[in-house]
């Protein structure tokens, strides 16, 4: 499986390369094309679009899903309470998994820089503050 994110930024020649890759008789690769606007991008590459087996739209995580999705996503979240995760989601991530991936990276880096730190509301707030002003 070859996962390609932000496929909407890929130019037509590269899309054709992906089609050739998927069509090669010796390949065992299935491309997974992700990104907002992927359907418009594939409309520009009908030969590749004709090979799409299925379309999936991933909705935002609901409140109950946040805790069940994040813990298997990264072991960092095993130490967090449901209340802390739900607060960070309501305040910052708003169910957006990509935002949670960024929060995970920032929280993990913060734990690595601070011996003895624990995953708590303060650590999550610090990690979320590094996301920047656009949420």
What confidence category does residue 135 fall into, taking pLDDT thresholds of 50, 70 and 90? very low
Element at 65 (helix H, strand E): helix 63-73
**Domain-by-domain residue ranges, the chain?**
2-49, 63-129
* Whole-structure pTM value: 0.70
- Tell me how far apart the alpha carbons of residues 118 and 110 are, in angstroms, rounded to a whole number: 10
Query: Tens digits of per-residue pLDDT, 13-64?
Result: 888 988 898 888 888 888 888 888 888 888 888 888 888 888 888 789 998 8
Tokens 């590459």 found at: 45
Residue 130 dihedral angles phi and psi, to the nearest 5°:
-85, -5
56-113 confidence digits (pLDDT tens): 887 899 988 999 999 999 999 999 999 999 999 999 999 999 899 999 999 999 999 9
Q: Please give the full DSSP string across 74-130, using - where no structure is assigned.
A: -GGGGGS-HHHHHHHIIIIITT-HHHHHHHHHHHHHHHHHSTT--SSHHHHHHHHHT
């Amino acid at each position: 499986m070859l996962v390609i994110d932000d496929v909407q930024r890929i130019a037509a020649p590269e899309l054709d390369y992906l089609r050739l890759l998927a069509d090669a008789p010796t390949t065992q690769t299935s491309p997974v094309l992700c990104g907002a606007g992927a359907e418009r991008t594939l409309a520009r590459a009908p030969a590749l679009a004709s090979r799409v087996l299925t379309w999936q739209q991933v909705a935002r995580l609901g409140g109950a899903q946040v805790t069940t999705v994040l813990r298997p996503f990264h072991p960092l979240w095993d130490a967090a309470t449901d209340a802390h995760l739900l607060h960070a989601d309501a305040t910052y991530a708003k169910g957006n998994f990509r935002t949670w991936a960024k929060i995970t990276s920032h929280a993990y880096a913060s734990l690595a820089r601070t011996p003895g730190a624990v995953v708590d509301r303060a650590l999550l707030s610090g990690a979320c503050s590094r996301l920047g002003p656009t949420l």
